Amino acid sequence: MTVTAKSSLLVAEDGSGAPSRSELSGQRTLTAAVTAQLRHEIINGRLRPGSKLSISDTTKRLRVSLSATREALSRLASEGLVRPEEHKGYCVTPISIDDLKDLTQLRIEVDSLALRDAIKRGDAAWEARIVSASHLLSRTPLNDQPGSSAVSEIWADKHREFHLALISACQSPRLIQLHNTLFEQSERYRRLSIGYAKSPAVVNASHHGLVAPVLARDVEGAIAAIRDHFEGTTRVIVERETGRNFQLAD
């Protein structure tokens, strides 16, 4: 597999060895491409939880520069998708029930704050964005093929857009950034929950249940709905994996 971006660092035109502005731009583009490719492989399970990520092997496999690979893995570490290992490169962050519970609780807190601000500040354009995103999500097939448990990448994109639309009127860039980071970290778990025989009708109903209280400007109702939504995904995994009833601690 080759990441399609310029992958060599050239000597600057003045012979100093310092990269030019265009070269720096190309390197940033390459790093972003490597980051996106590795993120995709982690979320989709091609790179399994706990698996080792050698910088040199990854560089050779993707046919890119060492600096692009290092920077990409550093970015993914900041997103919580990989972990550095002393003298060993990186590994894909393991998944666990405890981590899922912690992640779910934090997502509830962050999205509740963002929703509260979005409902306060949102205008008609924000409402229209939510309605449009909800409609597109409901009209997009959940799975790649009928009978398959693999999540469609098109559906995954529409799903991401829908959840972002809900909080898009929030005026805190940090809350939006936290939402995006936690969303990516939860994606591996979410795909596992869908693989546990959740029907498309159940998934769609869960998302439809978020729209009405938000558009009604019912802050407490919207927060309760987002909590139920996140906990529902977590419940499916925990009860399937452990055979025990699930409940988040207050």
Any idea where the domains of the chain sit in the sequence?
21-92, 97-242
- The answer to whether 9 touches 27, Cβ cutoff 8 Å, is yes
What's the CA gap between 106 and 204, in Å, rounded?
23
Side-chain-facing half-sphere of 29: CA atoms under 13 Å: 12
Taking CA atoms, 43 is separated from 12, 181, 188, in Å, by: 37, 13, 5
The pLDDT tens digits along the chain (250 residues) read 555 544 433 223 334 444 444 544 566 788 999 999 998 888 877 888 889 999 999 999 999 999 999 999 999 998 889 999 887 789 998 888 899 999 999 999 999 999 999 999 999 999 999 999 999 999 999 887 776 667 888 999 999 999 999 999 999 999 999 999 999 888 888 876 666 656 778 888 999 999 999 999 999 999 999 999 999 888 888 887 776 554 555 4
| pTM of the predicted model as reported, rounded to 2 decimal places | 0.75
Question: To which residue do tokens 């060895």 refer?
Answer: 17
Contacts of 240-246 spanning 24+ positions with Cβ under 8 A: 240/196, 241/97, 242/97
- The top-level CATH class assigned to 21-92 is mainly alpha
- The answer to whether 58 touches 76, Cβ cutoff 8 Å, is no
Return the pLDDT at 80: 86
Q: Domain 97-242 belongs to what topology?
A: Four Helix Bundle (Hemerythrin (Met), subunit A) (1.20.120)
Alpha helix segments (H runs only) across the chain: 21-43, 55-62, 66-78, 97-121, 124-138, 153-167, 173-195, 200-215, 219-242
26-43 b/e with 16+ CB inside 10 Å = b?
bbeebbbbbbebbbebbb
Return the pLDDT at 198: 60
What's the CA gap between 248 and 190, in Å, rounded?
17
